[in-house]
Amino acid sequence: MKKNRARFRNQSGFTLIEVISVLIIIGIIAAVAMVRATSTRDYDLISQVEAVKAHLRLAQSVAMGLNAPHGIHFDSQTTYYLYDATNSAKKLLPGQNELTVDLEAKKSELQITSVSKNPVVFDAYGSPGTEAITITTNGGDIVITKNTGYIP
């Protein structure tokens, strides 16, 4: 029996308290990481800004394809529509069920706070004119380059 006791005295290892404290720390770190990873507000704003950019690019393509001015008209902070500048008519955007895109109905927090030129109209060459157009949103600014109509 004395041999067994002597053998266990010289062994080193982790105590139960050390193992539990490490598990608690890992749990806290995992909880913080999950909260940050599951916050979708920022991703929503980014994706909705990209959707608005895609709609602007579509209006530009339609204007060049039909050889007639088209654009996007922003009704309010949360609504906009494809705009035919020749007869001031609304047109349906692809993938939409309604003529007007309503960001509130999509449960998006994106708001268009200001537009330097409303409606944003592109000519038959895809140009918005001789001035750059800035669309300010709570998800970031959209800048349409003058003359070329480039939307980064």
Q: Above 90 in pLDDT, residue 118?
A: no
Q: What is the CA radius of gyration of the chain?
A: 28
Question: Distance between CA 29 and CA 119 in Å, rounded?
Answer: 48
Average per-residue pLDDT in the chain? 88
- pLDDT per residue over 18-71, tens digit each? 899 999 999 999 888 887 766 677 888 889 999 999 999 999 999 999 999 999
Torsion, Cα of 70, 74, 78, 80 (10° steps): -30
H runs (alpha helix) in the chain: 2-9, 16-38, 41-66
- pLDDT per residue over 48-59, tens digit each? 999 999 999 999
Structure tokens at 15: 């105590």
pLDDT band at 1 (very low <50, low <70, confident <90, very high): low
pLDDT, residue 136, reads 93
Question: Distance between CA 6 and CA 17 in Å, rounded?
Answer: 24
- In the chain, the domains with their CATH numbers are 41-144 (3.55.40)
pLDDT, residue 36, reads 73
List % helix, strand, coil for the chain (3-state, nearest 5): 40, 20, 40
